[in-house]
Amino acid sequence: MGWALQDIPWERFDPTCVRPELVSIAKAACLVEHNGGDYGAYLRSVFHDDPQFCAVAQVWSEEETKHGEALRRWSEMADPTFDFATAFRRFRERIRLPVDADRSVRGSRCSELIARCVVEVGTSSYYSALRDSAEEPVFREICRRIASDEFRHYKMFYDTLRRYREHERPVLLRRLWVAVQRLIEAEDDELAYAFYCANAVTQPYRRSTYKKAHGRLAFAHYRPRHVELGVAMMLKAIGIKPQSWYGRLIGNSLSRIIGLRDAMA
Ligand SMILES: [Fe+2]
Ligand SMILES: [Fe+2]
């Protein structure tokens, strides 16, 4: 299982199919994914007495970093002026994770795992949307492979969440709150600042400006099927049956939150 950078058919790169807006968001994604090592260290610290999870979290973080490497290589082919080292250094100066935290910043392990599921819902739907809309063949192939990994990551966090749910049993409102909070955060500083750093903007950083700039380019690729699948996966992580009356109600609300982000972008 797994793939390596050499499995990507780089020789099929077609510069005539490269759209500049896609390069801008690929460069931003490459910085965020490259930070996977820190996320892995944070998770291993929070789950320090769970060797089973620590082992899969290590593999997970290596895969996230590999996503960053593939996107970096493609971005450098599409935009030879892209200075990854400088962009990543600027990004890291601001975006720092508590890698030695001994408990989750979300308050509990279940909450941490729900938040991780929401992030993987976001990445799996994002790369699926990019895969379905991109014309450049190498980028499509990279997004296809990354999207497939992100769906698998979701399953890994979801399976771990089920294991922890037997002990922690967080109430529905708490589970819902964590998911909604993480969903809203998803477009916060990290992506906006990555977009700012990756595109070598010389103006002072303003979060709202770059959040909108990134969101406008990223959300343009989503189709209803990407949102519908993402909402169903999110409901599953919260522990709500999508077909129940409250599942449909909450599902519609989650779709509206995503739609609102789209409209605000
Ligand atoms: Fe990833
Ligand atoms: Fe992932």
Q: How far apart (Å, rounded) are the C-alpha atoms in residues 118 and 84?
A: 28
Q: Are 25 and 195 in contact (CB under 8 A)?
A: yes
Q: How far is the CA of 150 from the centre of ligand 2 (A)?
A: 4
On the question of pLDDT at 151 being above 90, the answer is: yes
Q: How far is the CA of 153 from the centre of ligand 2 (A)?
A: 5
Among all ligands shown, which has an atom nearest to the Cα of 33?
1
Secondary structure of 149-172 in the HEC alphabet?
HHHHHHHHHHHHHHHHHHHHCCCH
Tell me which residue of 195, 216, 182 sits closest to 23, measured CA to CA.
195
Inform me whether the pLDDT recorded for 265 exceeds 50: no
Q: Which pLDDT score is estimated for 187? A: 54
pLDDT tens digits, one per residue of 227-238: 889 889 989 999
Note the pLDDT of residue 58.
Answer: 94
- For residue 230, count other CB atoms closer than 10 A to its CB: 25
Rounded mean pLDDT of the chain?
89
> pLDDT class for 186, splitting at 50, 70, 90?
low
User: Ligand 1 center to residue 200 CA distance, Å?
Assistant: 22
pLDDT number for residue 15: 95
Distance, CA 245 to ligand 2 centroid (Å)?
Answer: 30
Q: Which ligand is nearest to the CA of 59?
A: 2
Higher pLDDT, 188 or 10: 10
Nearest listed ligand to the Cα of residue 35: 1
32-41, 42-51, 124-133: least confidently modelled range: 32-41
pLDDT in tens, 98-118: 777 778 878 889 999 999 999
Residue 182 CA to ligand 2 centre (angstroms): 15
What's the confidence (pLDDT) of residue 264? 47
Give residue 248's pLDDT.
85
What is the whole-number distance in angstroms between the Cα of residue 151 and the centre of ligand 2?
8
Q: To the nearest whole percent, how much of the chain has pLDDT over 90? A: 55
Tell me which of 34-38, 79-83, 97-101 is least confident.
97-101
Render pLDDT for 39-64 as a digit per residue (tens, 0 to 9): 899 999 999 999 999 999 999 999 99
Classify domain 16-264 at the CATH class level: mainly alpha
Q: How close is the Cα of 208 to the center of ligand 1, in Å?
A: 24
Ligand at minimal distance from the CA of 151 is 2
Prediction pTM value: 0.92
- Ligand 2 centre to CA of 64 (Å) is 6
| Domain locations in the chain as residue ranges | 16-264
Distance CA 43, CA 55 (A): 11
**Structure confidence at residue 175 (pLDDT):** 84
pLDDT at 83 over 70: yes
Q: CB count, 10 Å around CB of 16?
A: 6
